[in-house]
Every structure is written in C-alpha cells, then in structure tokens.
Amino acid sequence: MTKHHPHRHTPSGLPRARHYAIPFEGRPGKNNAITDVPGVSVGYTTLIEGDGPLHIGKGPVRTGVTAILPRPHAKLDIPVFAGLFSGNGNGEMTGSHIIAEIGAFNFPITITNTHSCGVTRDGTIRWMGEHLPQSLDATWGLPVAAETYDGFLNDINGHHVTAAHVAEAIDSAIEGPIEEGSIGGGTGMITFGFKAGSGTASRLVEWAGEVFTVGSFVQSNFGPRRNLTIRGRRVGADLVEPRMIERTERREKSSIIAVVATDAPFMPHQLERLARRVPLGIAWTGGLGYHSSGDIFLAFSTANPQAAIGKRGQLVEARYIPDADMDPFFDAVAASIEEAILNALVANRDMTGRDGNFVPALPHAWLEETFGIADPAVE
C-alpha cells in the first residue's frame, strides 16, 4: 500500500478534506484523527453484499459496525470520565442514563444502524465477558451503543449485523491513521444528499505549558443538499448535480452521532460542556437539527484513571483544568467536528444500494475547481 500523508489521505488513498485548499482553523494532531488521543483506537466491520431489489433478510446489504475504544484492549474495564448532550433526541445512545448519573462509563463504544443498536450493545457485553470477565462482576454491563438510519441503501430490517461483527470491530481497533467514509457503521449513511458516513479529525490545545489533544469522530447522516456549507460558503443550493436516484421513497430519518475524546483532565460536568459545543461544529457545515434528526453527542477524557475507578472508603484526587480556561477546548471541539463531517463526505465514493437507490459522492473535481489542491509543502 502506498504511504499517504494522513492529513490529506486515508490509509487506502481516499482524499480527505485537507487534500484540498480548504482553510481550516486550528492545529491538527499527527493523524488528524480521534486516535491522536493516546490510548484511543477505532475498529470497523463493513458489510457490503448484493445488488438489485430488496429482499428482506437477504439484502442488498450496506451497513456495518464501528467500535471506538477509550482505552487499550486490556484496560477497557477502567472507566473514563464522560459527559453527554442531546442536541435533538430522535435517536438512541445506550448507557446514557448512567453517564448522566455518575459521569463515567467503561467498555467500547459501538455505532451502527438503527435496527442493530441492541445487537452491538449485547455484542459488546459478550466480548467483555470473554476477554475481561472480571469487569462484568465489578461494574454494571451498560455499554454505549449508538445508531443512525441507513434504510435508503441497506436492508435495515434484515438484521445482518451480528455479535461476531461486533467482536471483529473491537478486535481490529487500531491507533494511528484510520479509514473514513463508507466504512463500519457509516457504510450506508448520507449527508447533504451526498455519500457520507464515518469521519474524524483532531486539534492540539496548548495550556499551562502542556499540549493536549481533542479528537472527534462522527457517524454523519443528516441534512438536505441546500444547506451544505463549507467554511462559511453556502454551496449546497448551487451544487444541484449529481443527484440522488430514489427508486423507492426516501424516509427522512437523518441523524449524527459524535464522540469527542481528549487526554485533557476534565471533570464530568466539563465534559458535558464539551459535548454541548458539538452542535456548533455541525452548524458550520449546515446542520440545523431538524425534527427527524437524532443528534446525540458524547465526550470523554482518558485522564485521571485512578479517580475514575475510585475505591470505597478512600478519598480520591483528580487533576482538572479550570472552567475559566476551557475556551480553547471549545474551539477545538467545534473545529474538529466540522472537519470530521467534511472528511466523511470527501473520503467517499458513489454508492448504489437496495432497489437501485443511488447516492453520489461529493464531486472531487468540483472540490478541486472550487478550493484548489493544498500545497503539499505546507502541513
């Protein structure tokens, strides 16, 4: 495989948004990905099978599973402090109530299609029971599993995702550069009338002589074409072609799931504040949280592991950045979310799914004509 610069291309060579001269803000991490946060990894299982008319239970299949591991495989039983925010609650994220209650979670995060969310939740518990069985005795088995709807392209009622696919995604999770676009849980997703799915980005934040990382990951599946905005330019209304081909009625069930990770030491209430800034990055791309959209956002910190564990009868201590100093981290969340969504759009190809329904990719030729190609000498 040809080695590509991770800011500009995915490992397989698909262009990312920075391949073009789009004027992003902020300083990205080494890989411009959520995996720039030390210890965080991402794995996928992608299911693409069949063509032609829909036969429920047989396909065509355009779906998958994404696994985001907040800690290395052997340490997934160690909790992370967390906070969440529902920008629009027409969707699902399991484990949300205990996060709201105690400000922490453990186990892998999974993201998939709407009708497989329970499968990935249960598959995660099964994986933990096989690999870290003591974790299920020591804590509640309440993993985070989230979803967006892929029924326009996928046989969503065919229930093709299994526990084995969940295990495959968790087992395959890696650090470093990761693929984006039509992969994992994002395989069948659409954004602004273009093919989208999985996207990621990161920002570095200097504070008090230390450098921290904020990394974001999105499963992007929202928004009408007319709203598409790239760095303040409302391009969607004029970008009429290429069009989607709808051989069956498209139901408006759009959503976006976002996960924000950081190694900066924050308390749960501060992580909720980070999650509340995710909609600002979405709005920069043209997302307005319409009625049918499930916009649910999670933020976690890998810092303070001993405090997150806690022990009965013992005081615990934790480092944290003062609330008054959080503004640069708010910037990092909004900027990385915006770029992650655009990466999900750019690192993509056309896709035809069930019944011949067709979703075009955001045209790369148009991106080059509109923004130009980035100078390879400039990082």
- The single-letter code of the amino acid at 106 is N
CA torsion, ordered 96, 190, 343, 108, to nearest 10 deg: 30
Residue with tokens 């564990």: 309
Kind and range of the H or E run holding 238: none
User: Contact 150/187 with Cβ under 8 angstroms?
Assistant: yes
Token digits for 113?
């299609």
Q: What own/partner pairs with CB < 8 Å and gap ≥ 24 does 305-310 have? A: 305/71, 305/78, 305/79, 305/80, 307/81, 308/78, 308/79, 308/80, 308/81, 308/104, 309/78, 309/79
User: Contact 346/220 with Cβ under 8 angstroms?
Assistant: no
Q: List, by residue number, the catalytic residues.
A: 255, 293, 295
- The single-letter code of the amino acid at 197 is G
The whole-angstrom separation of Cα 158 and Cα 137 is: 34
Cis ω before 60 (30° cut-off from 0): yes
- The single-letter code of the amino acid at 15 is P
Residue with tokens 């800034």: 277
CA torsion, ordered 306, 309, 313, 317, to nearest 10 deg: 40
The residue count for the chain: 379
Taking the alpha carbons at both ends of the chain, their separation in whole angstroms is 22
